[in-house]
Amino acid sequence: MDAPAQTKTAYEIAAPDLPPAPERPKPVRVKPTRKPAEPDFDAMRLAAQIRRVEMGMTLKQMVARADASESAITGALYGYHDGSVRTWFAIAHALDMAVDELMATLERPMARVAA
């Protein structure tokens, strides 16, 4: 019986006099070592409230300074929802804070924000 014919790869057909192409390494799947941290919106809310009180500002005054609706501001500050990026920008502006300064509290434990 005849041996089955070997099929040639495209590389062997295109370059018959070159050495065979090196084998590709098999992909390695790496499982994440830890779950990504959840943003701590409570810490950001607390930091915003502390800043507002330090400035001697009422919530109504803060809403007047922010370019957002009262329901959006109070909803974000009191935890009815996480708030949109636009709302948090408005809150930071009303509190004379850089947005990145306020957003940095998302990754800090709440105890460190209050300290």
Reported pTM: 0.62
Return the structure tokens found at 109. Answer: 């434990």
Report the percent of the chain where pLDDT is more than 70: 79
Q: How many domains does the chain have?
A: 1
**Does 95 map to a domain?**
yes
How many CB atoms neighbour CB 113 within 10 A?
17
Task: Please state the rounded mean pLDDT for residues 78-88.
Answer: 92
The gap from C-alpha 78 to its chain's centroid, in whole angstroms, comes to: 21
pLDDT category of residue 27 using cuts at 50, 70 and 90: confident
The answer to whether residue 108 sits within a structural domain is: yes
Question: How much of the chain, in percent, has pLDDT values that exceed 90?
Answer: 41
> Which CATH number is 70's domain given?
1.10.260.40
Rounded to whole angstroms, how far apart are CA atoms 103 and 28?
A: 35
Which domain range does residue 46 map to? 41-114
CA distance 62 to 69: 11
Q: How far is CA 58 from CA 43, 62, 87, 111, in A?
A: 20, 6, 17, 24
